[in-house]
Each structure stands twice: as structure tokens, then as C-alpha cells.
């Protein structure tokens, strides 16, 4: 049976999960799948696009629920992203790259945009808040993964993550009265 697009993304996620981004090469992937490197290029245009597909897959399990309380939903979403990406070596780099290439690459990104929009008093504030949260989430994960790589302690990481999230959300709900349960 012929190689499928799905199989390639599966194998890519697997290599990333087990060995990190440095080992996630097109050649390595081909070896893992028992084909020649060139075969991959019949199914995938290039490595960058493949990494975006990997991001979609990794973020696909993050639950997107709505409670009517945007701040609480943002908090849950941010924690969900962290939980999904943290166990994957270099996961934050891959997700950041995909977010940069395509800000609609995952429903998770879109949902975050919607939620900050409901909480902010203006469109510019909403955009700034969305960016602040995304940068906090991906930056925190990146720092934590790098600390792990360098064998530095990460005991307070989860609490620090929450504290940073609080700071960002405090500012949002302070500058504007929450319009909360309106959607």
C-alpha cells in the first residue's frame, strides 16, 4: 500500500516526540518509513509545511470549550496548550514557527483571538492581549524546555506560568470592565 500524507505526519510527530527537532529530518523520516527521501516530496511540498501539519496534530487534542467567562476560558486554553506542547522536545519552536507562518494554523489560535476580543475594550487592545498571551505561553514553554535540556531546575515553572498568565489577564480586566457573558 502506498505511503499516505497521514502516515508521514504521524511518523514526524513520533520522531519529534522521541528525539527532538534536530533529528526530525526529511532523510531520517524517509528511513523510518522505509522509503527514499525523494518519495516524501510526492506527498508534502517541503519541510516547513510538514512542520505546520505537525503543529496542527499536536494542538488537535487541546479542548476548546466555552463557559461564558472569557478570562477563565483563556486560562484553560493557555494551560491546555502548555500541557500538549511541554512533553514534546522543541515543541514550542515548532508551534511558534507554525504560528508565524500561519496564525490560523490551529483552531486553538483562532479561539484565543476570539476570547481576548470579548474581554478587551478595543480592537487594538484585543490584538495586543492575544499576542501577549501567545508570546507568554510559547516563551514560557521554550524556557522550561531549554532549562530541562541544560539540567537546570524547573520546580516553580508551573506556578510562574500561572502567575504570568494572571498578570496579563489582570491588566485586561483592569483596563476594561469585563463584558463577559455577552456571547
Partner DNA sequence: ACCTGAACACCGTTCAAGT
Residues that bind a copy of itself (CB under 8 A): 96, 100-101, 124-125, 127-129, 131-132, 134-136, 138-140, 142-143, 146, 150, 156, 159-160, 163-164, 166-168, 170-172, 174-175
Among 17-25, 66-74, 76-84, 136-144, the segment contacting DNA (CB under 7 A): 17-25
Q: Are 57 and 115 in contact (CB under 8 A)?
A: no
Site for DNA in 22-41 (CB under 7 A): 23-28, 34-39, 41
Residue 101 interacts, among a copy of itself, DNA, none and using kind-specific CB cut-offs from 5 to 8 Å, with a copy of itself
Q: What are phi and psi of 140, to 5 degrees?
A: -65, -45
Q: Which option in a copy of itself, DNA, none does residue 163 bind, with CB closer than 5 to 8 A by kind?
A: a copy of itself
Work out which of 43, 79, 136, 148 binds DNA, going by CB under 7 A: 43
* Other Cβ atoms within 10 Å of 2 Cβ, number: 8
Q: How many CB atoms lie within 10 A of CB 151?
A: 7
150 binds DNA (CB under 7 A): no
Does residue 18 touch DNA according to CB under 7 A? no
In whole angstroms, what is the distance from residue 31 CA to residue 26 CA? 9
Give min distance, CB of 143 to a copy of itself, in A. 6
Does the protein bind DNA through residue 10 (CB under 7 A)?
no
Task: List the one residue from 3, 127, 128, 171 that touches DNA (CB under 7 A).
Answer: 3
Residue 105 contacts residue 52 (beta carbons within 8 Å): yes
**Alpha-carbon gap, residue 44 to 47, rounded angstroms:** 8
Q: Which residues of this chain interact with DNA, rule CB under 7 A?
A: 2-3, 23-28, 34-39, 41-43, 46-48
Amino acid at each position: 500500500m502506498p505511503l499516505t500524507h497521514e502516515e508521514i505526519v504521524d511518523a514526524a510527530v513520533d520522531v519529534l516526540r522521541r528525539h527532538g527537532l534536530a533529528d526530525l529530518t526529511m532523510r531520517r523520516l524517509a528511513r523510518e518509513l522505509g522509503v527514499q527521501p525523494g518519495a516524501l516530496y510526492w506527498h508534502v511540498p517541503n519541510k516547513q509545511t510538514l512542520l505546520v501539519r505537525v503543529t496542527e496534530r499536536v494542538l488537535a487534542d487541546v479542548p476548546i470549550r466555552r463557559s461564558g467567562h472569557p478570562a477563565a476560558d483563556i486560562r484553560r486554553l493557555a494551560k491546555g496548550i502548555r500541557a500538549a506542547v511541554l512533553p514534546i522536545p522543541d515543541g514550542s519552536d515548532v508551534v511558534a514557527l507554525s504560528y508565524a507562518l500561519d496564525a490560523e494554523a490551529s483552531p486553538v489560535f483562532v479561539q484565543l483571538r476570539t476570547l481576548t476580543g470579548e474581554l478587551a475594550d478595543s480592537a487594538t487592545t484585543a490584538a495586543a492581549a492575544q499576542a501577549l498571551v501567545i508570546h507568554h505561553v510559547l516563551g514560557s514553554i521554550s524556557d522550561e524546555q531549554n532549562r530541562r535540556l541544560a539540567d537546570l531546575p524547573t520546580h516553580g515553572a508551573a506556578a510562574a506560568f500561572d502567575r504570568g498568565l494572571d498578570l496579563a489577564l489582570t491588566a485586561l480586566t483592569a483596563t476594561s470592565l469585563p463584558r463577559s457573558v455577552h456571547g
